[in-house]
Amino acid sequence: GDSVTQMEGPVTLSEEAFLTINCTYTATGYPSLFWYVQYPGEGLQLLLKATKADDKGSNKGFEATYRKETTSFHLEKGSVQVSDSAVYFCALSDPGGSYIPTFGRGTSLIVHP
């Protein structure tokens, strides 16, 4: 079945450092790919998405590129802030519109001042 693998956390960075969180997936067909963010004590918020190969999703300084050849969707940000501290989930879903994402286990990001 479909699955998502994320790098284990926590990832600990100083403010203004460069961030990469790795995500690879296994799926039949061509899924849509997502990054969700969960701040402490809150639900999930969609951060960005990409729906086809070579698409780049971006939002709030974060970006990720849909790489079909490497089945990857790594999340990057050039300069993290303390307010970016959260848990980040990579997810995929059937592009046919069932809206049932399959999630990775999440990667905790801790940014120190």
Partner 1 sequence: DAGVTQSPTHLIKTRGQQVTLRCSPKSGHDTVSWYQQALGQGPQFIFQYYEEEERQRGNFPDRFSGHQFPNYSSELNVNALLLGDSALYLCASSPTPGQMNTEAFFGQGTRLTVV
Q: Which of 40, 69, 100, 113 binds partner 1 (CB under 8 A)?
A: 100
Separation CA 35–CA 82 (nearest Å): 19
Per CB under 8 A, 66 contacts partner 1: no
Binding part of the chain for partner 1, among 14-22, 23-31, 45-53, 67-75 by CB under 8 A, reads 45-53
Coil, strand or helix at 2: coil
Which tokens belong to 20? 């990469």
Strands 11-14 and 107-112, sheet pairing: parallel
Binding site for partner 1 (CB under 8 A): 4, 32, 34, 36, 42-46, 49, 51, 89, 91, 93, 95-106
